[in-house]
Amino acid sequence: MQDANTRFPFIARVLILRQFLWGAAFYGTYVLLTKFFLVELNYSEADTIMMMGAFGAVGPVFSAVGGFVADRYIGSFRAVYIGYTVYTIGFFTLGIGASSLNVPLSIFAIALIGYARGLSATSPTVLLGNSYSETNRESFQQGLTVNYSINNLGSFSSKYLFPFLIAFLAYSGNFYIASGLMSITLVLFVLFRDRLVAVGNDIDRRPVSLKIWAGFIVGSALMLGLVFWVFSNLDAGKYLLYALGFGAIGYFVFEITRATKAFQYKMMAVLIMIFIMIVFYFYYGQMLTSMNIYAINLMGDSLLGFIPIRPESNAAFNPLWCFVLGGPVIFVYGWLERKGISPSIPTKFSAAFLFSAIAFSLLGLSTNFVGESGKISADWILWVHFFQSLAELIVGALGAGFIFEMVPRYLSAFSIGLRSVALSLSGILAAVISTRIALPKDQVLTPEIIENVYASYFFNLAILALVMVFVTLALSKVIAKLVRKGEQLEQQENQSDESLTVQH
């Protein structure tokens, strides 16, 4: 690719536009699902929390499988193209299910969306990474950050607007809009197919045998059936998600034993990073479970005294802050580098835990400021999301970038999927623990309930985040030693190969 050494290669810009459309479609739907299940489908708070946790976990946990399939069988471009086609169908089916309040059809629709996310989640990062040359990796890291910010712009737009559109379009109309947004991405894939295939993996540029396609179709049907079963049997399904997540990590451990000595050290550093990410994304999972339920029950409908907002739109604060703070965070990183300060990725995670501790301390404190209307000001939730979003933005997609650089290329899509596995495990864990604050339907929120249920829960989370600041700082030193040892061995291996070449 002629522009692979530029800051933003052409195909990277296409992929970033795709990210905006996907973020608007997926998160716009996501923000509506809590009240859709609570109100329209008459689920309890506990079951709704578990459904949201499972919905957030299923796609990521299957993304390791999707990455493996893309690496070994169908290619990264095909995985994205097929996955986004299924997304389009899934959102449209959800619209049909919402219009008729058909519970099985609605569950089947989100199973389709979960399958699509699992198949396609890791491959866009591979395509984006391959659109940059091997000597342009710094620009690739910047591209990841921009991609992340654009995703948040799409997410914020739909999270804020979709709840207001319910009054005009009902739930079904919003889900149809999401389907339309995903169909635009398919148009992009058709228009720029050749250039996208060029930045795919080797399999994308070769025909796939009928035998592999048959196996893919059968495997997809089984996976879809499994996802549908998880959503229909949440109590048992969570254990399956745990098994799949730890199974993917177990396979990665097996691959460590087969790797070269240099990669073994680097991949062990990745394992430690996965543990850190699981704990960190547990807090991300709280935003769509406990924090969301808290806001729906107690948040007022006015922001800063004059901006109208729906309680379920509280989730829009997260992508808003991520988008607004993206530039300043990049500026601070640049300033630190000019001063000769370059914090490691694990060290950045420790800083992120500190901001999470502040966020959940504020959330617990907000329970003391319930007004005469029985609501807290939306401003509290805005500032809680400020600190949690800052925490998220500090690490951003760095986990995926770190993994991409630490593993052999033949494991790239699968290994990037491990970040999603961490997201999945933390998401389902967040949902299970968040059910502790679930209240019976029509429960009157007294000061005692608010104090004993919400305040104590959020303050305990703040304390855990503070502990993780110090744990992560200690682990960052271990990771640094492993990476340094791996790089030293890699240099020795390269020198040995050069010597052998000279001799021959």
| 3-state SS record for 139-200 | HHHHHHHHHHHHHHHHHHHHHHHHHHHHHHHHHHHHHHHHHHHHHHHHHHHHHCHHHHHHCC
Summarize the confidence of residues 172-183 as an average pLDDT: 94
The pLDDT, as a whole number, for residue 248 is: 80
Strand partners, 307: 303
> To the nearest whole number, what is the mean pLDDT of the chain?
84
Does residue 421 carry a pLDDT above 80? no
pTM value is 0.78
The pLDDT, as a whole number, for residue 297 is: 84
Q: Which token pair is 291? A: 């924090």
Summarize the confidence of residues 351-366 as an average pLDDT: 91
Does residue 5 carry a pLDDT above 90? no
Contact 352, 473 (CB under 8 A): no
Among 201-210, 332-341, 374-383, 477-486, name the one with the lowest average pLDDT.
332-341
% of the chain beyond a pLDDT of 90: 23
**Confidence label for 400 from pLDDT (cuts 50, 70 and 90):** low
* 269: number of Cβ within 10 Å: 25
As a whole number of angstroms, the distance between CA 244 and CA 116 comes to 17
What is the 3 state secondary structure string of 422-433?
HHHHHHHHHHHH
The pLDDT, as a whole number, for residue 1 is: 46
What the chain holds in terms of domains, given with CATH numbers, is 10-495 (1.20.1250.20)
Q: What is the pLDDT of residues 446-498, one digit of tens each?
A: 888 888 888 888 999 999 999 999 988 888 888 888 878 877 877 776 666 55
Question: Which residues 6+ apart lie within 8 Å of 253 measured at CB?
Answer: 271
